[in-house]
Amino acid sequence: MNYEAALNELIKNAFAEDIGVGDHSTLSSIHKNAEGSAVLKIKQDGIFAGMHVAETIFKYMQPNIIFTPLKKDGDEMKYGEIAFEVMAKVHTILKCERLVLNSIQRMCGIATLTKKYVQKLEGYHTKLLDTRKTTPNFRLLEKEAVKIGGGVNHRFGLYDMIMLKDNHIDYCGGIEKAIENAYNYVQQNNYDLKIEVETRSLEDVEKVMHVGKVNRIMLDNFTPEKIVEALKIIDGRYETEASGGINLDNLESYAKTGVDYISSGAVIHQAVSLDLSLKASPLNPPREL
């Protein structure tokens, strides 16, 4: 499923959850043909994310809305600014309001935190990756927000990359056996899948180098000093990724090692939604849409 199809599926399910059999508050108080406009007010500084998402939500409910963006994804936003204006039926605006706000407030928070990480990596070889530590059924937009903030998406799910983590290795009976099994699985099924393996020690790294047959080596919970040693063993033969216990305070010490990637679940699960509000006003006289 491509991004647009996945986004529309997400929106459909979100409306089903929120509206159910009907928005009785709106149905009981607002004429069905009433028209109005609304603006998105920015109430907190940060990085804007989710403009296309907001427009798609409104157009899912009413295709002929008039949507005017005043910001772009990735733009800095300041308190008091207006991000967009929408003109539509009042029923459309009120039905979409909470889904639009919930989505883009969350996305802005993730993009803003991701940007802080990315700025700390400026000048270094290392790139920032996200993880699968996401909100169920909302991963599409959380990972999109990471990209808007300047990060790089890791695998989207369990289906688009093989990652042999500690539990896979322990259940399988060892790191060498896990790699061999995964490599044979890819070859036998003719899958276009990269293989990444998690290592927990320099001894694990040596074992991986002996077996080969992987694309990336994750160095999990290694200190920066241990990563330097691991990189000497790997000697540029495979991509490398540092993970575990990395935050804004120690990020640069890991980047200085020269590791290819740093993965951080924190850019998503530690991000705080930013404050935005959708303020509506009636159109008098109503405009044609």
Residues with a catalytic annotation lie at 98, 133, 165, 198, 220
CA distance 219 to 231: 10
User: Of 133, 164, 141, nearest to 241 (Cα)?
Assistant: 164
- Residues with Cβ within 8 Å of 44's Cβ and at least 6 positions away in sequence, in order, are 79, 274, 275, 276
Phi-psi region of 173 (alpha: psi -120 to 50; beta: other; left: phi over 0): left
Burial of 122 (C-beta count, 10 Å sphere; 0-12/13-18/19+): exposed
Strands 195-199 and 216-220: parallel
The SS3 of residue 8 is helix
Q: Is the dihedral of CA 108, 109, 115, 121 positive or negative?
A: negative
